Chains A and B, each alone.
Chain A
Amino acid sequence: EPEVTQTPSHQVTQMGQEVILRCVPISNHLYFYWYRQILGQKVEFLVSFYNNEISEKSEIFDDQFSVERPDGSNFTLKIRSTKLEDSAMYFCASSEGYTGGSDEQYFGPGTRLTVT
């Protein structure tokens, strides 16, 4: 069964450093997403991406964040200058782009980001 993959599984970085989290969505999917989950808290939507541009973003997704689809398979989330409060699990997801009902999103295993 096709699955979303993410690398690395765990990233430790110092405050102020840039990090890039990588994802490989399911190959025939058209929509890509990033969510985050701070330990013990809710899953939070960050951004959705379609046709090589952001389709929607949350208030969390400020100028520190950016997303990119650098090639035909990867989808990345960059945090320019990490803060302690960016420590969380970051989940990538993808979906087919089905418009007849609710479009099922498939989630990756996550990257645990620890900012020290």
Chain B
Amino acid sequence: LAKTTQPISMDSYEGQEVNITCSHNNIATNDYITWYQQFPSQGPRFIIQGYKTKVTNEVASLFIPADRKSSTLSLPRVSLSDTAVYYCLRNAGNNRKLIWGLGTSLAVNP
């Protein structure tokens, strides 16, 4: 079973900010939250990772509240090329077996 829960799909428009929330109620103390992006017929690509509070890189921001039971991936000003499936995963630092859910299929419309 996937250890996270996220919406199956989302729709957005070019230029909008998209926030995808992931629920991980049973997160363990050692777990990190990692988000991957996957385009059709391609391998997943790492987007961002965090443990708590806020992390930002050139692609996205990740918000993790103090209780760490959820997290939100924020994509600023999406474009058509951001149409993809976004996966939220949680795993401990020493656990390299990534468990995947179905992800969130994001469609960005013109």
Residues of A within 8 A of B (CB): 4, 31, 33, 35, 42-45, 48, 55-56, 58, 89, 91, 93, 95, 98-110, 112
B-side binding surface: helix, strand, loop or mixed? loop
Instruction: Collect the chain A residues with CB atoms within 8 Å of residue B10's CB.
Output: none
Interface magnitude class on chain B: 20 to 34
Nearest chain A CB to B96 CB, angstrom units: 5
Give Cα A42–Cα B99 distance, bound, in whole angstroms.
9
Nearest chain B CB to A34 CB, angstrom units: 12
Q: Which of B34, B94, B97, B101 contacts A58 (CB 8 A)?
A: B97
Mind listing 27 A-B residue pairs with CB under 8 Å?
Answer: A31-B96, A35-B98, A42-B2, A42-B100, A42-B101, A42-B102, A43-B38, A43-B87, A43-B100, A45-B97, A55-B96, A56-B97, A98-B93, A99-B93, A101-B49, A102-B34, A102-B92, A102-B93, A103-B96, A104-B34, A104-B46, A104-B49, A105-B96, A109-B42, A109-B43, A110-B41, A112-B41
Q: Is the CB of B97 within 8 A of A102?
A: no
Give Cα A90–Cα B84 distance, bound, in whole angstroms.
19
Instruction: Collect the chain B residues with CB atoms within 8 Å of residue A42's CB.
Output: 2, 100-102
Instruction: Collect the chain B residues with CB atoms within 8 Å of residue A89's CB.
Output: 41
